[in-house]
Structures are given as structure tokens and as C-alpha cells.
Amino acid sequence: MDRNGMEQGIRRFLDALDADVAANEVAETPARVARAWADDLLAGYASDPERELTWTDVAAGGGPVLVRGISVASICAHHLLPFFGTADVAYLPGTRLAGLSKIGRVVDVHARRLQTQERLTAAIVATLTSALACRGAIALVRATHTCMALRGVRKERSEMVTLAASGLYEDDRGARGEILGLLGRSLGRDPGR
């Protein structure tokens, strides 16, 4: 990332505001903003999500693995405003069992990029499917978008829900219903609603 270019852009943005802000209050703002975006908000560009996902070889078979309530914080590619919520991820192992914390890292790497929630959800599933060679993967992401809450229609309590699936969870309605039921019960929600 071109941090110097980011700093210059933020400086131009602040100048264009023509706002009555004391110069000493924003003197370091361009450097702070560039650092925040490069080191945190968009840090996912510096990582390969498949390399974050380590696994252990196991015997084929076994039931699904679910990780729920993974915190998600990302930046909307359309308005450069944050969206945040949770991701529930499940996969049906083939012969690879992922390290539990690694699934959260995969979510973070994808979330720490400019995103749409739909693309984020699909990317999580694609990474799990590719790296783990699993029999199926599914991700359910629930998020509040500040681009919808703070501007435009200003619906502060709106929540967007996206779902992506692969393998068995994409092709077999029974398996998909079962895993969605598990995710729904685990969250204390009625999966039929």
C-alpha cells in the first residue's frame, strides 16, 4: 500500500472540507488515518487467506464443524463506511480438520479488505472449500451497515443477512436444512423464520 499517497489524499480531503477545524487538531490526522487503514482496516490485502488456514489430516468421515459468532468488521466498497456483525461458519470435513482459530483468521483476512457483504460471505466459503477440500462449507453473515444507518434511508436497526454454500450444503437440500437448523438453534433463533 502507498501510505504516503493515502496521507496526501486525506490531507486533500480535509482541505476540501473547508471546515472550521483548528489546524493543530488535524495536523497529524492524515498520518493517523493512513496508518489505521493500512495497518488495520485494510490489512487483509497483505495476507493470503488460504495460508492462514492450517489443518490436521484426519480419517474421512465425521460430522460437521460449526464456529459461530465470529466477529466481523469490514469496510463497504461502495461508500468506504464500516459494516460489522457476526459470521457463522460450518464445514463438513473430508480428510482435513482446520485449526479452530484459523477459521476466524480466514474471516478476518477477507473482512479486512474493501468488501460487499455478499462477496465476503462467498469468499469465506471459497477459501474453506479450496484449502480444506471439504465435502461442503457454508457461511452465514449478519451485519449492520453504517452506509445504511448513517446516510440514505437511515435505518439504524437494519441487519443484512447473507448466505453462501458449497458442496453438499449447496447441492443437498436436506443437508443444507440440517446445518441451517443447527446454526439457527445455536443462535437461539427459529431457523424457520
Residue 99 forms part of a structural domain = yes
> Same domain for 29 and 53?
no
CATH of the domain at 135: 3.30.1130.10
What is the value of pTM for the model shown?
Answer: 0.89
Number of domains the chain is built from: 2
Closest CA to 88 of 135, 127, 141: 141
Residue 192 forms part of a structural domain = no
pLDDT tens digits, one per residue of 6-46: 999 999 998 898 776 667 788 899 999 999 999 999 999 99
Residue 65 forms part of a structural domain = yes
Residue 161 CA to residue 87 CA, distance in Å, equals 10
Residue 193 forms part of a structural domain = no
Residue whose grid cell is 453473515: 141
> Same domain for 60 and 107?
yes
Residue 7 forms part of a structural domain = yes
Domain that holds residue 84: 48-186
Handedness of CA 7, 11, 13, 14 (dihedral sign): positive
* Consecutive H or E run containing 66: strand 65-76
